[in-house]
Amino acid sequence: SQELEQSPQSLIVQEGKNLTINCTSSKTLYGLYWYKQKYGEGLIFLMMLQKGGEEKSHEKITAKLDEKKQQSSLHITASQPSHAGIYLCGADMGAGGTSYGKLTFGQGTILTVHP
Amino acid sequence: ETGVTQTPRHLVMGMTNKKSLKCEQHLGHNAMYWYKQSAKKPLELMFVYSLEERVENNSVPSRFSPECPNSSHLFLHLHTLQPEDSALYLCASSQEGFPNSPLHFGNGTRLTVT
């Protein structure tokens, strides 16, 4: 089993609809990062969450980290074709023992937005 | 030029060839990473260089050999690869000393081993 599980694996929505992607771990997360990737390209940093209960927003994307710091959700409001891509969560699975970013990633969620 | 730049974008090589992937970061970071992204698998961390010293080597076969001559440049030397090594190889950088500094990724090199 994977350390970080993302659900759903793929999602197809009509433009204008809201959607949620989840990222779940069996361990406490010491820093949770959301990235977006266009197929065959690099990852673009979206947001980082660190504290239990924390919530951050950027434009129409909101990310939350639950109180136990074992699950995060990414919510997109009024989706647009520009939101299409692969969304990945990455997390520091250790106890903060390194000073560099050693991240474990989920398998990604493929989002398709139909106009 | 800003960000993290990887060259080449695409590479096709035979199993007996030797090639190198190059990564350059213009962000003033001092930690650099190689990740491998295969189809239907999560990103796999291969190597980490922090302050130009290798600090992580995640059981990567010796046919992959990293080199970090300075904090701005990272190479991945490839030799006698196998077809299962075909993947997208991503380079990233971050600021050491700031554990919450996000990784900044390049656009990757799509490697095909024939």
Q: How far apart are CA A83 and CA A76, in angstroms?
A: 8
CB A75, CB A55: distance < 8 Å:
no
Q: What pLDDT sits at residue A100?
A: 62
Chain B hits for A89, CB-CB cut-off 8 Å, are none
- Average pLDDT by stretches of 10, chain A with 115 residues: 88 97 90 91 92 91 91 97 96 66 89 96
Q: Which residues contact A105 (CB under 8 A, 6 or more apart)?
A: A4, A88, A89, A90, B42, B43
Interface of B to A at Cβ within 8 Å reads: 4, 6, 31, 33, 40-43, 45, 48, 50, 55-56, 88, 90, 92, 94, 96-108, 110
Q: How far apart are CA B114 and CA A84, in angstroms?
A: 32
User: Residue B41: pLDDT band by 50, 70, 90 thresholds?
Assistant: confident
- State whether A98 and B43 contact (CB < 8 Å): no
Q: How far is residue A55 from each of residues A30, A80, A84, measured CA to CA in Å?
A: 15, 22, 22
Distance from CA of A30 to the nearest CA of B (A): 9
How many C-beta atoms lie closer than 10 Å to residue B93's C-beta?
A: 28
Q: Which residues contact B53 (CB under 8 A, 6 or more apart)?
A: none
